């Protein structure tokens, strides 16, 4: 790709970007949200046309009119947000539009048996332990991701683009994915690997290309590029990721939340913990440990039993509205589904939880709502052209800030952050970290779920570790290490 340029209304998304890819290599494409990574890949796969520049594929000019053109040519993309049908089986998803058929009389019928056999052979060839006849909805998100990759590979691929492929995978599933990627590379398939997880880039890629603000910064061999140098190329400044060395919570800080004998479903069993004013309590554990399920039960999103006390007083939380009224705000790991109305503007999303407080009468004061939204958008440094910008057009980091603004405007004193930096670039991560630290210093209390141990160690004053639906131990940050966390995360209660 040579001198690729692309403009949208008011945005110069790509400014003469260069990118090249060798046969059989795994090439990382990195940069902050909004750097132009996805735009470059969409130009390559024909999702929209480039404005200028040249694409050469196998030495010939390449100008796909749409994704089908690029797929027919052997270029496939696996998006971060999965594009499959939950109600169909794995085999049906793999070969949708390319079904196995058999003749019956003068017509043709679907041959499910042959299709299941094709799917099983493909999954076996990729060393994926997945039942071809299983309904997709019954698989974990990680397994669904594997099916998406298998679907791409089922075409005669020469180039595979993976956009944040490990965001929802467990460590074991990541290892399996990397094994598959190395096998594909050995067979000559070239891969473009987009990820914010910089440690993984050092493990799996051969070269790294960095974009910043729509411009090409440089390409380096992974073996010759340190993590610190990569970050500096991405953000143009030094970002420090030192773990927290001691708790920032005052010794006499009062308990604002106490949970006793909380049970819900099969993944939340006898949960007991306390949260103090100004504390960041990290919840660590492997995928499936029950951390999100625990917080959903606490928030009233799922039915539960147990005792919840706020400021020493027992409260009844049967639904999320009860939790909101008690001063609890929940930032879901799936912010687009549970945290935002993505087709509404920034202003509406910011104030939607606090209509009663901001306009207690039946008539909404639009000026007051607008002024309040503007105040918090400015306070949190949300990067948006205007308050009327649709939230779906913001970067992941700025969408997360809008969710935080919503709960701050509501004046929530307890904030539950579930995977607060998932899918967010390193620069925006640093901003979210700083914001969380400021909120805790102001007296807000935060529960943070994270699958990234570095994040847990950087932000937590104290760490609760879960395994198979139970809390297996607490670790003060002064004594915490990745080894101690993993020991408790694999210790059955």
pLDDT digits (tens, 9 = 90+) for 355-386: 777 777 777 778 888 888 898 888 878 888 88
> Is 293 found in the same domain as 437?
yes
> Is 198 found in the same domain as 342?
no
User: Among residues 322, 305, 375, which one has the least CA distance to residue 346?
Assistant: 375
Cα–Cα distance list, 102 to 105, 107, 111 (Å): 10, 9, 6
Spell out the residues 6+ positions from residue 361 whose beta carbon is closer than 8 angstroms to its own.
none
* pLDDT reported for residue 274: 97
Contact 290, 471 (CB under 8 A): no
372 is in which domain, residue-wise? 255-489
* pLDDT reported for residue 271: 96
Q: Is residue 176 part of a domain?
A: yes
- β-sheet bridge partners, residue 416: 330, 447
> Is 273 found in the same domain as 229?
no
Q: Which residues of 281-299 are buried (b: 16+ CB within 10 A; e: fewer)?
A: bbbbbbbbbbbbbbbbbbb
- β-sheet bridge partners, residue 75: 159
Q: Is residue 325 part of a domain?
A: yes
CA–CA separation, 227 and 244 (whole Å)? 20
Output DSSP code: residue 336. Answer: I
Cα–Cα distance list, 454 to 93, 127, 143, 168, 223 (Å): 36, 30, 25, 17, 22
* pLDDT reported for residue 143: 81
For the chain, how many structural domains are there in total?
A: 2
> Is 468 found in the same domain as 343?
yes
* pLDDT reported for residue 9: 67
Q: Is residue 389 part of a domain?
A: yes
Q: What token pair was written down for 397? A: 């980091």
CA–CA separation, 353 and 337 (whole Å)? 16
Name residues of the chain where pLDDT drops below 50. none
CATH number at residue 217: 3.40.50.300
Q: What token pair was written down for 482? A: 């990745």
> Is 334 found in the same domain as 209?
no
> Is 64 found in the same domain as 179?
yes
* pLDDT reported for residue 462: 97
> Is 380 found in the same domain as 267?
yes
Strand 2-8's sheet: what is its strand order?
11-17, 2-8, 52-54
Q: Of 207, 235, 263, at which residue does a domain stop? A: 235
Q: Is residue 318 part of a domain?
A: yes
* pLDDT reported for residue 81: 64
> Is 264 found in the same domain as 208?
no
> Is 259 found in the same domain as 230?
no
Spell out the residues 6+ positions from residue 347 whose beta carbon is closer than 8 angstroms to its own.
369, 370, 373, 374, 387, 388
CA–CA separation, 468 and 288 (whole Å)? 7
> Is 330 found in the same domain as 418?
yes
> Is 161 found in the same domain as 43?
yes
């Amino acid at each position: 790709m040579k001198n690729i340029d692309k403009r949208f209304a008011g945005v110069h998304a790509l400014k003469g970007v260069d990118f090249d890819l060798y046969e059989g290599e795994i090439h990382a494409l990195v940069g902050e949200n909004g750097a132009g990574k996805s735009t470059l890949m969409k130009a390559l796969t024909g999702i929209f046309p480039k404005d200028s520049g040249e694409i050469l594929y196998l030495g010939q000019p390449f100008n796909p009119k749409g994704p089908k053109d690029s797929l027919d040519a052997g270029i496939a993309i696996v998006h971060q947000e999965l594009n499959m049908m939950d109600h169909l089986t794995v085999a049906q998803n793999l070969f949708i539009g390319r079904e196995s058929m058999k003749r019956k009389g003068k017509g043709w019928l679907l041959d499910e048996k042959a299709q299941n056999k094709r799917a099983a052979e493909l999954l076996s060839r990729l060393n994926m332990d997945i039942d071809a006849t299983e309904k997709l909805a019954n698989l974990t998100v990680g397994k669904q991701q594997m099916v998406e990759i298998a679907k791409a590979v089922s075409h005669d691929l020469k180039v595979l683009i993976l956009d944040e492929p490990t965001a929802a995978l467990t460590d074991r599933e990541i290892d399996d994915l990397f094994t598959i990627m190395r096998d594909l590379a050995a067979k000559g398939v070239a891969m473009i690997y987009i990820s914010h997880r910089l440690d993984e880039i050092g493990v799996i890629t051969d070269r790294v290309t960095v974009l910043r603000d729509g411009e090409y910064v440089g390409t380096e061999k992974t073996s010759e590029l340190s993590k610190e140098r990569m970050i500096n190329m991405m953000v143009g400044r030094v970002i420090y990721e030192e773990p927290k060395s001691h708790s920032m919570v005052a010794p006499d800080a009062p308990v604002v939340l106490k949970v006793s004998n909380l049970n819900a479903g099969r993944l939340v069993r006898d949960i007991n913990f306390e949260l103090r004013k100004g504390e960041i309590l990290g919840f660590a554990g492997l995928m499936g440990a029950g951390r999100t399920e625990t917080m959903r039960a606490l928030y009233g999103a799922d039915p539960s039993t147990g005792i919840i006390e706020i400021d020493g007083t027992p409260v009844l939380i049967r639904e999320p509205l009860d939790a909101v009224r008690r001063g609890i705000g929940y930032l879901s790991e799936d912010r687009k589904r549970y945290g935002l109305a993505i087709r509404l503007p920034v202003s509406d999303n910011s104030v939607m939880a606090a209509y009663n407080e901001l306009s207690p009468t039946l008539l909404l004061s639009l000026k007051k709502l607008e002024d309040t939204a503007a105040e918090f958008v400015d306070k949190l440094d949300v990067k948006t052209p205007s308050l009327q910008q649709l939230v779906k057009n913001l970067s992941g980091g700025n969408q997360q800030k809008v969710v935080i603004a919503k709960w701050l405007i509501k004046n929530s004193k307890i904030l539950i952050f579930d995977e607060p930096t998932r899918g967010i670039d390193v620069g925006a991560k640093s901003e979210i970290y700083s914001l969380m630290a400021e909120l805790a210093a102001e007296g807000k209390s935060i529960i943070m779920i994270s699958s990234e141990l570095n994040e847990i160690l950087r932000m937590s004053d104290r760490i609760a570790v879960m395994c198979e639906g139970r809390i297996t131990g607490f670790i003060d940050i002064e004594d915490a290490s990745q080894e101690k966390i993993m020991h408790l995360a694999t210790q059955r209660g």
